[in-house]
Amino acid sequence: MKQMITLKAYPAGLSLTSLICMAGALQGTALTLVVERGNSAVWSIQWGSSKLIASVYCGIVNSGIGYYVSGLIMNVKGPVFVTAFNPLNMVIVAILGSFILSEQLNLGRVVGAVVIVIGLYLVIWGTTKEQKSSKILSTTEEVEHVDKDLSEIKFSN
């Protein structure tokens, strides 16, 4: 909900995404300095290493594009929709991990993925049902308002 308020007050989505990512990087750096004091090997990343590629990919794709797309969806659909789809990341990671990294899917992962997908379906179903009922309610209120106006016109003549 706070993200929605922030997006309304600060509508420049890419700049806001950059600020969020920079704040996260600063917090991560501070925590690493505290937890890994005296261990300078943690900070060494060689050019062309998988650690460097993974860090850059995570920083650009997961954080940058993820926050930006979340902000766009939040403007259109609202914060509930974005929050409901966050657990879908775990399902996608489990599926891609089994194909790309040849990880084995165990029963717990499959059951968890099914539960997450059912939960997402229920959220979407509930949201559409709520939107339909609010449209019917607003249409009914408009009809009652018009009927009231017509009855006032008839009695005033």
For 28-49, the pLDDT digits (tens) are 889 988 888 888 777 777 776 7
Is residue 46 within 8 Å of 52, Cβ to Cβ?
Answer: yes
Instruction: Output the pLDDT for position 25.
Output: 82
Q: What is the pLDDT of residue 63?
A: 72
pLDDT in tens, 76-134: 877 777 777 777 777 777 888 888 878 888 888 888 888 888 888 887 788 778 777 77
The answer on 49 and 92 residing in a single domain is: no
Mean pLDDT across the chain: 75
Looking at residue 1, its pLDDT comes to 52
Q: Please say which residue of 24, 46, 77 terminates a domain.
A: 77
Final residue of a structural domain among 30, 57, 77: 77
Enclosing domain of residue 129: 78-156
Q: What is the pLDDT of residue 144?
A: 61
Distances (CA, A) of 1 to 36, 74, 83, 116: 34, 10, 10, 22
Helix H or strand E encompassing 105: none
48: left (phi over 0), alpha (psi -120 to 50) or beta: left
Given a contact cutoff of 8 angstroms between Cβ atoms, the answer to whether 64 and 17 are in contact is yes
Domain boundary among 77, 107, 131: 77
Q: For the chain, what is the domain count?
A: 2
> What sections of the chain are H helices per DSSP?
2-9, 13-35, 50-57, 66-77, 79-85, 88-100, 107-156
Tokens of 1: 């909900």
